[in-house]
Structure 1
Amino acid sequence: MSKKILIYAFTLRRDAAAALILKGQLESRGATVVIACSYNFDFYLKYWGPDICLISTISRIENITKYCPSSEIVLWPGEGSEPLESSNALMIKNRDGAWRRISRILSWGEHDRQIFKQMFDDADSKVFVCGNPRLDLAKASPLINERTKNRHSIGIMGRFNSLNHYDGRPTIYSLNDTENLASVIDQAKGYTVIVNTIKWIVENTNEQIQIRPHPLEAPENYKYLQNMYKGRITIDESFDLAHWIAGQKLILTPSSTSFLEAYITKTPIINIEKLADFVQPSREIQPFAALSQDAGISPASYTELRELITSPPTHIKNEKIEAHLKHAHGWHLPQTAASKAADILVGSKLQPLPKIKLLQRWGLAQVSNIMFRKACRRNPLFSNFNYCEQFHKSPEYFAEITRLICSKIKD
């Protein structure tokens, strides 16, 4: 019997790409799939009645229990490889009834599975290592190698969401929680380095610049730079981070978990934190993201930074990162994370989609689309964070990725 599966994509530019690849794998196995986010998740719970809910954050457990109690809850984490103090396992432990309600957990890697085993005696029966779903696009895309042979610009990655909220809220909103002060100061310092560097690149080189905002940022607020430096700057709003990184000559960024895609595609990384003199170094607050400093170079002066831009460093294999990819992200696994997850959820047999269920899904999608359009009329920046199938078009090559993954499945 075909399963109805609801996937919760928390953020557009972090989660939608992995959700679309997983959707392709599930549908190839005969499941009917909807990708939802905060504005329409409860709507689909009430009126579609999914058999399985894949959630990336445990905050959705209560609403699933309330509106669709028969639905199986599967945790498909939006973050992984965290230390115990910020792990999914500890958050579930501290949330009354959450462990009992979750039936399965699709872990990124052995690192997370071991933390669950520390917390719960029956973890072996619930936790399955699938790999990091975000890395599927680096692992399976047929375009990555081609992109790395035609690198065309200098990439700048934003992580300034306390200054530039995706929905247009001002920076002062971040300071409603005064503990955010250090973060706001560090982001302001980091952005100052970025602005100074952009000015230098434009004035002293012929390089094109591409800026990719953080998933919690508003891309619109970077577009003033395009007006200042006409013809030199592009703002990237695409789903596929790995595809974008693979096309860059180098990446300029604060510490970020996205260093993995850069490392895998052998894209040089320049980390700006030392130059920006951060108040809270990432090594102290987010050890995983701080590994990006080991994957690249952290210049201590603008002179050193400019030399690196002019003559980018070559990729060097790092045993520490190689071990992290294997232990925490399942990079060594032969399957993609999406294919492994689909096998666990619905089996590995390929089969067609049931037309009657597709018709029912289409009708609900029309109502969901109206909800999305109304929200966008209230705030035009709503689409920066929230996915809508009719509004956000999937890249054409995603279908080819699905086909290539499926071609490796044996009946």
Structure 2
Amino acid sequence: KRYRVSGKTLEQCDKCFCWGDVHAQMIREVDPSVDSKLHITGNPRMDLLRPSFRDLVESEAAGLRDQYGRFILLNGNFGSYNHAMGIDYTWKSIESKGWASTPKDKDFHHRRVELQGRFFKAFHSVLPKIATEERKVVVRPHPSESLVPWEELSEAHPGKIIVAREGNVIPWLQASEAVLHNGCTTAVEAFFLDRPVIAFRPEKNLELETELPNHISIQVSTEEDLLALLEKVTEEDSKSREERIEYARKFLVAGDGPFSSERMIDALPEVENHSAGELNSFRYLKDRVYFALRNLAGKLVHRQSSAYLGLKCRKLELSQTREVLQAYSSRVKLREPKVYSIGNVLLCFD
């Protein structure tokens, strides 16, 4: 919360949607006066992981199984240590955000990045030992990570370790035999997709690690224990899953009952509607031109940051958006909204 929750931002917002009770309490501790703004709704992304929607991505998941066979999915979470723009970019980013303004803060982030580096090396050591011709390892690096070290590892173990970062992560999770990670929030999605989730923790440091993803996972600390677990991971997962579900509910609501998105809509005030025609009027066109020029100027001035964002945040195509909306709208029996492009990767839903 020291680096992720801003009191200034909370002052500006009218509503603040929280994943669950723990999230809401964290925000109250930063600024108790915002309590009336808080609404515990869950995360809409988790709506898509419910059993009623899983068949919508099953054909894609089946295609991945056909292509790769049995595989363990490693979700990378090493963007600070293995950043696509280099470690110097990591330090500059931390400083530019004001996260290293005191000796205590600077020490915290140095220790955090160093720990992440040791985890990164530990995974590089263990992956060749768990990858086989019959059960491959697919590495899906974090969008902020450099692919180079992972591709070098893959080249050293052809046909056993595969690096793949394309597409939506949900079919990959659904197709996997188990998900391996350390402190990666994608593990939370895998857990709610009922996949066995394993946290490999060669070291334990509660101050520097991410609590929720590790705690809802089966945890192992040695290579030997990981190898043994993978031989009976489904059985071991079932033994403690109910206990871990109860723990997760403190952090994340809306696993059943009303969707998180519905809870958000219920909490919203009445808003003024604008048609696509209005948004394409001269009044709004001026605003769009202004922001497009400002965006271009930002890219020219901050070339390195712009290049990184291009790697991390891919453009969402209008046709792809319409296809996804059609599939999910039909499932929940809602009118399919019309979607228009209003420029500069902005979409309008009518």
Aligned length: 309
Distance in 1 (alpha carbons) for counterparts of 2:10 and 2:303? 39
User: Any idea what SS the aligned residue of 2:206 has?
Assistant: helix
Distance in 2 (alpha carbons) for counterparts of 1:311 and 1:163? 32
Distance in 2 (alpha carbons) for counterparts of 1:396 and 1:236? 25
Out of 154, 164, 174, the position equivalent to 2:82 is: 164
Deviations 1:339-390 (A, max 9, x none): 43345446699x9952341575796587688668768975754422345446
Out of 26, 29, 35, the position equivalent to 1:123 is: 35
Out of 205, 208, 224, the position equivalent to 1:303 is: 224
1:13 maps to: none
**AA partner of residue 354 (structure 1):** A
Out of 134, 137, 148, the position equivalent to 2:48 is: 137
User: Any idea what SS the aligned residue of 2:145 has?
Assistant: coil
CA, structure 1 residues 122+385, in 2 after alignment: closer, same or farther (shift >3 Å)? closer
**Conserved? CA contact 1:138–1:261, under 8 Å:** yes
Distance in 2 (alpha carbons) for counterparts of 1:393 and 1:170? 38
Specify every segment of 5 or more residues in structure 2 that has no aligned partner in the other structure, as ranges: 96-105, 336-350
- Per the normalisation by structure 1, the TM-score is 0.60
CA, structure 1 residues 122+189, in 2 after alignment: closer, same or farther (shift >3 Å)? closer
User: Any idea what SS the aligned residue of 1:193 has?
Assistant: helix
Distance in 1 (alpha carbons) for counterparts of 2:253 and 2:188? 12
Measured on the aligned residues, the alpha-carbon RMSD in Å equals 4.2
**Conserved? CA contact 1:375–1:382, under 8 Å:** no
1:101 maps to: 12
Q: Once the 2 structures are TM-superposed, how far is the Cα of residue 131 of structure 1 from its aligned partner?
A: 0.8
Higher RCO, 1 vs 2 (CA within 8 Å, ≥6 residues apart): 1
Taking every aligned residue pair, what percent have the same amino acid on both sides? 14
Distance in 2 (alpha carbons) for counterparts of 1:183 and 1:99? 26
Out of 366, 372, 384, the position equivalent to 2:311 is: 384
2:261 maps to: 338
Distance in 2 (alpha carbons) for counterparts of 1:237 and 1:394? 18
User: Any idea what SS the aligned residue of 1:271 has?
Assistant: strand
CA, structure 1 residues 369+405, in 2 after alignment: closer, same or farther (shift >3 Å)? farther
| 1:11-410 correspondence to structure 2 within 5 Å | 88=5, 91-92=6-7, 95=8, 98-116=9-27, 119-121=31-33, 123-124=35-36, 126-139=37-50, 140-143=53-56, 152-170=70-88, 173=91, 177-202=106-131, 204-238=132-166, 240-273=168-201, 276=202, 278=203, 281-286=204-209, 288-289=211-212, 292-300=214-222, 302-314=223-235, 315-316=237-238, 317-345=240-268, 353-358=275-280, 364=289, 380-389=307-316, 394=320, 398-400=324-326, 402-404=328-330, 407=333
User: Any idea what SS the aligned residue of 1:327 has?
Assistant: coil
Distance in 2 (alpha carbons) for counterparts of 1:405 and 1:307? 41
- Per the normalisation by structure 2, the TM-score is 0.68
Distance in 2 (alpha carbons) for counterparts of 1:144 and 1:178? 43
Q: Once the 2 structures are TM-superposed, how far is the Cα of residue 152 of structure 1 from its aligned partner?
A: 3.7
**Conserved? CA contact 1:211–1:235, under 8 Å:** yes
Q: Once the 2 structures are TM-superposed, how far is the Cα of residue 333 of structure 1 from its aligned partner?
A: 4.8
Specify every segment of 5 or more residues in structure 1 that has no aligned partner in the other structure, as ranges: 1-81
